[in-house]
Amino acid sequence: MSTPTEQFTHVWHAEAPRVLAFATRHVGAEAAHDVVAETFLVAWRRWGEVPEPPIGWLLVTARKVIQNRARSARRHRALADRVALLDGVTSYAADSADSALSRREALERLARLDEQHREALLLIAWDGLTGEEAAAVLGIKPATFRRRLSRARAALADPSRAAPATRVTSPTTTAQEVR
Whether the per-residue pLDDT at 92 is higher than 90: the answer is: no
Q: Can you give the pLDDT at residue 99? A: 54
Co-location of 65 and 108 in the same domain = no
Rounded CA-CA distance 121/134 in Å is 10
Q: Is there a domain that residue 94 lies in?
A: no
Query: Average pLDDT for residues 14-32, to the nearest whole number?
Result: 93
1-14 pLDDT tens trace: 589 999 999 999 99
Rounded CA-CA distance 42/130 in Å is 38
**CATH number of the domain residue 65 falls in:** 1.10.1740
Q: Is there a domain that residue 92 lies in?
A: no
Which range marks the domain in which residue 45 is found? 4-75
Give the end of a domain, one of 75, 93, 113: 75
Whether the per-residue pLDDT at 176 is higher than 80: the answer is: no
Confidence of residue 32 (pLDDT cuts 50, 70, 90): very high
Q: Can you give the pLDDT at residue 68? A: 92
Co-location of 11 and 62 in the same domain = yes
Percent of the chain with pLDDT over 70: 79
Q: Is there a domain that residue 131 lies in?
A: yes
Query: Average pLDDT for residues 24-42, to the nearest whole number?
Result: 94
Q: Is there a domain that residue 41 lies in?
A: yes
Which alpha helices (H) appear in the chain, and where do they start and end? 4-27, 29-45, 55-92, 103-112, 115-125, 131-138, 142-157, 175-178
Q: How many distinct structural domains can be found in the chain?
A: 2
Q: Is there a domain that residue 177 lies in?
A: no
Rounded CA-CA distance 45/80 in Å is 33
47-86 pLDDT tens trace: 988 988 998 899 999 999 999 999 988 888 887 777 777 6
Please indicate, yes or no, whether the overall pTM of this predicted structure exceeds 0.75: no
Whether the per-residue pLDDT at 145 is higher than 90: the answer is: yes
Give the end of a domain, one of 75, 90, 112: 75
Co-location of 66 and 108 in the same domain = no
Confidence of residue 122 (pLDDT cuts 50, 70, 90): confident
Query: Average pLDDT for residues 135-147, to the nearest whole number?
Result: 92
**CATH number of the domain residue 117 falls in:** 1.10.10.10
CA dist 94 to 82, 90, 99, 138, 174, Å?
21, 8, 11, 36, 31
Q: Can you give the pLDDT at residue 171? A: 42
